[in-house]
Structure 1
Amino acid sequence: MCGKSTYRYSTWGIASLLAIGLAVSAGCSSKPQKARYLAANAGSACHAKALPTAGEGGLAWGSTLQIARQKSLHNCMRYASRSGGTPNTCKVVLADCK
């Protein structure tokens, strides 16, 4: 007799825990999604591309046009020197903001 009543109470306990879990998850599903990667989205308003006369260039994103241009020049110099190009001839060829 004790085994049957324990089984009945455990069934009710499992059912109530399942119902509570579903209620909590349903309440959270209506919230708007937040951006998960704020650092990636924060500085992506402008971009710039710099190219050397020989070797690889550099593309960079920044919150302002000046920052994007500066980053792309630094990337161009770094990649041009790694690829056997001419880092001192890097020039910004494209700069734009959204």
Structure 2
Amino acid sequence: MAGKTTRQCLSWVLLSLLAINLALTAGCAGKPATARYSASSVGSSCYAKALPTAGEGGLAWGSTLSMARQKSLDNCIRYAGRSGGTPNTCQVVLSECKH
């Protein structure tokens, strides 16, 4: 008789944990996704985008326009090389500072 009570108690505990887990998961499901790189751009007011003729380009933020341009070129070279593109053709196509 004691074994049956223990099993019932264990099943209630497991069901309760499952219900709590589902409630917490459902609560987080409605939140919008945030970009992974948003924290790195806090305080940076300038951005630049560089693109190669083939492959992936690079977008970067910086505190000055020249810093953003250099970072975007570095990112373009890195990403174009990884994506099978042409890293030696990277050029900054857009750069500006927010006011």
Q: TM-score, normalised by structure 2?
A: 0.58
Cα distance in 2 for partners of 1:52, 1:39 equals: 24
Return closer, same or farther for 1:80/1:68 CA change in 2, 3 Å cut-off. Answer: same
RMSD, matched Cα: 1.8
Correspondence for 1:71: 71
How is 1:40-59 mapped onto 2 (pairs within 5 angstroms)?
A: 40-42=41-43, 44-59=44-59
* Higher alpha-carbon Rg: 1
Change (3 A) 1:85 1:63: same
Alignment partners' CA distance in 1, 2:79 and 2:40: 24
Q: How many angstroms apart in 2 are the aligned matches of 1:67 and 1:95?
A: 11
- Structure 2 counterpart of 1:22: none
Alignment of 1:9-24 (within 5 A): none
Please state if 1:97 is matched with 2:87: no
TM-score normalised by L of structure 1: 0.58
Cα displacement (A) at 1:39: 6.1
* Unaligned 5+ runs, structure 1: 1-37
Alignment coverage as a number of residue pairs: 61
- Structure 1 distance, partners of 2:40, 2:82, is 28
Give the 3-state SS of the residue equivalent to 2:96 in structure 1. Answer: strand
For 1:78, what is the secondary structure of its paired residue? Answer: helix
Tell me the percent identity: 75
Counterpart residue type for residue 41 of structure 1: V
Runs of 4+ in 1 over 6 A off after TM superposition: none
